[in-house]
Every structure is written in C-alpha cells, then in structure tokens.
Amino acid sequence: MVIARIISKEIKQRFRDYKTNILMVLFPMVLIIILGAAFSSVFENGSIDTGDISVLYTIDIEGGDPVFENAFNTFRQYMSDVMGIQFEETPDFKKGISEIEDRRFTAYLHITGQPLRIDMYRNENSGFISGIVENAVASFLDSYASINIVARSNPAVLSEIQQFDDTSRVRVTALDRKKQPGSTDYYAVTMLTLILMYASLTGFWCIRSEVDEKTVPRVLCAPVRRYQYLTGKILGNIFVTVIQGFVVLLFSRLVLKANWGEDLFMVSVLIITYSVMTVSLGAALAFIFRSAELASGLLNALIPVFVFLGGGYMPIYALGDTISRISVISPVRWINTGLLDLIYEGSYFDAYISVAVNLGFSVLFISVAAHLSGKRRNGYA
C-alpha cells in the first residue's frame, strides 16, 4: 500500500509537469517529421542505399548446372548494375567463412547442389541490411524454381530464356522492397529510442530533486522504509516514461503511417524494458555522484554518443567497420537493432538480446541504487 501511494504521487507529479511532458512527446514527433522528410531521398522507395553491400559466394555443384548458372549470373548482374550490390566469388568455403567472420563482407553464400541449396552466413554487424540480401536470394530461388520446371518440361523454352539479355524476369522478385524501412519508418524507431534514453535524466532528477528540496528525511520520518520509497519513485517514473513512449509510437503509426511491424506485443516489451533500464540508470547515478551538476553533465554528454553509436542519426552499417565494432557498448544499438530486425525481418534473435541487455543493466543499476541508498541516511546526500 505504501509503495502504491508513492507510485501514485510520482505519476501525478510527473503529469503535472506539462513542460517536460510536452518536450518528451513533442520533440521526437517533430524530429521524426523533419528527419523523415530531409532523408527521404536516402531511403528512396522505402529502401536504404545499398552501395556498400558486398556479397561473397561459392558455387559448389559437382558437374555444374547450366540452368542455375545462367539464372544466377542474371541475378548477379541485376543486383550489381541496378542495386549496387557487389559480388565476389571464391572457390574456398573456409576462406568464405573466414572473410565473413572478419566482417569484410555483408554476407557469404555457399551454394551446393543435389538438391540445390544456398546457405547464407551474415555479418553480425550488418543488421537488417543483410536482410536485403536474404530477401533477394529467397526471391531468386523462387524465380529459379519456376525457370527450372519450365526448362525440364520444355527445353526449347530454355534456349529462349538463355538468349535473353534483359533482367526483367528477375526485376520483380529480386528484392522485396516492402520489407525495407523508409525514412519515416527508420526515424520513428530511432527517435523514440533517443528520447527514451533521455528518460535517464528523469530517473536522476526524481531522486535528486527530493534531495535538493530536503523532503526525503521528512518522508522517512513516517512509517516508510527506504526500499519502499525508492521502489515507488522508480516505478512511478517508469510508468510515465512508458506512457510517453507509447504516445510517440501511436502518433508515428497512426498519423505518420510508420511501420511498426505485426508483433506489437514484442515491440511493447522492448520499449518497456528499455524504459526500465534508462530510468534505473538515472536513479543509480543520483546515488553514485554527490554533485548533481556533474552527474547531469555526464548524462548529457554520454547520451548523444550512445545514440550515435546506436544508429540513431544514421544506420550503423554506414558508420564504417570500426565504429560498428565499438557500437556494441551502446544499449541504444541493441534496442534499435532488435526493433528493426523484428519489424522488417521478423527476426527475434536481436530482440531477445536487447531484452536481456535491458533487464541485465536494470538489475545492476537498481542494485547499485538500493545499496547506496542504505548507506546514505541523510536524505541520500
């Protein structure tokens, strides 16, 4: 009951702070509109520029397969000339695996026969960009299956297909553009995670404001335990932060028509766990640093760096391999990758990693806050 009353008090207090609420909700909305319009040409036709995508492949079919080779060469030609994807062949499977482990290529295709099979190995830093290659390969296989059936049932048609130089038969199915984010789609995700990262300042000031106003000793004179007080304040601020995040999500989805995928439940889980982590981070720093100015300045300095490394301003793959390697330290990278892979690839792997990262950091930060709050008895100061 005590915790519930503290949560209720925090929620009411936060909702009465109209200026902060407007900033937390209106700011990302404006950024989504501005950045979505400014970079619409970069995400032309709902897809990101693919000029930096490189694919290594190995054809390991005994005796060769002229039907497949003709179809695959046509596919490569189209993807290279029109989409800008670079293909390179290697006869050595081990070398291909080594190259992808060293992150020198976006993807590696190992093509074997009897029956025909293409195994795709991804560069773990390529994010949803490698999904472009995966969708293209899947569509190519569908096209090849149709060509193969026609070729075996009517060889005369095969000779006509082999004489064609245009790539129109691949053009329709080579890439499913509907599964690639447009500029509004991309920034709807990244601006939401950006503003939720600033919720760490909310978690910080929900503790420090009580210290500055010297209200903590008065509260603790009542029959209120320290863990009840801390739990109520953190949960209350998490609740308001989640509501703010959902308002931005609904605005971008219903008004701006941003794509948030079909599994809104998992998207909500990611947003909630991320909000818990950011608020907990702020609360922990409120106890770690005695100087409010120092802690606030540190947060304001680190947040833009984390957002940059997380692909908040531009896709991670465009930052270069070195930055992509460093980006693993940013929790924003994991939430953005988890959301984008979930929405555009239906992949839950990075989403689960993001949830684990969020919950792991949340437990750490809350534990630090609880431990230090017990040591500082004079109003947490």
Query: Quick one: three-class SS letters along 117-128?
Result: EEEEEECCCCHH
Percent of the chain with pLDDT over 70: 76
What pLDDT, on the 0 to 100 scale, is given for residue 166? 43
Q: What confidence score (pLDDT) does residue 178 get?
A: 44
Choose the weakest-confidence range: 81-85, 162-166, 219-223, 303-307.
162-166
What's the pLDDT at 59?
Answer: 87
Which of these three, 156, 179, 202, is where a domain ends? 179
Q: What is the separation, in whole angstroms, between the first and last Cα of the chain?
A: 27
Say if residue 210 is in the same domain as residue 252.
yes
For the chain, give the number of residues: 381
What confidence tier does 197 reach under pLDDT thresholds 50, 70, 90? Answer: very high
**Higher per-residue pLDDT: 103 or 264:** 264
Give yes or no: residues 152 and 208 share one domain: no
Q: Which residues contact 250 (CB under 8 A, 6 or more apart)?
A: none
Look up the CATH number of the domain holding residue 72. Answer: 3.40.190
Any idea what DSSP says for residue 178?
Answer: G
Which range has highest mean pLDDT (61-65, 200-204, 273-277, 377-381)? 273-277
Beta bridge pairs of residue 111: 59, 118
The pTM of this model reads 0.68
Confidence of residue 269 (pLDDT cuts 50, 70, 90): very high
380 in a domain, yes or no? no
What pLDDT is recorded for position 147?
62
Domain span holding position 213: 2-43+181-375
161, 179, 197 - which closes a domain = 179
Q: Are residues 146 and 28 in the same domain?
A: no
* Domains: count for the chain: 2
Same domain? 145 vs 228: no
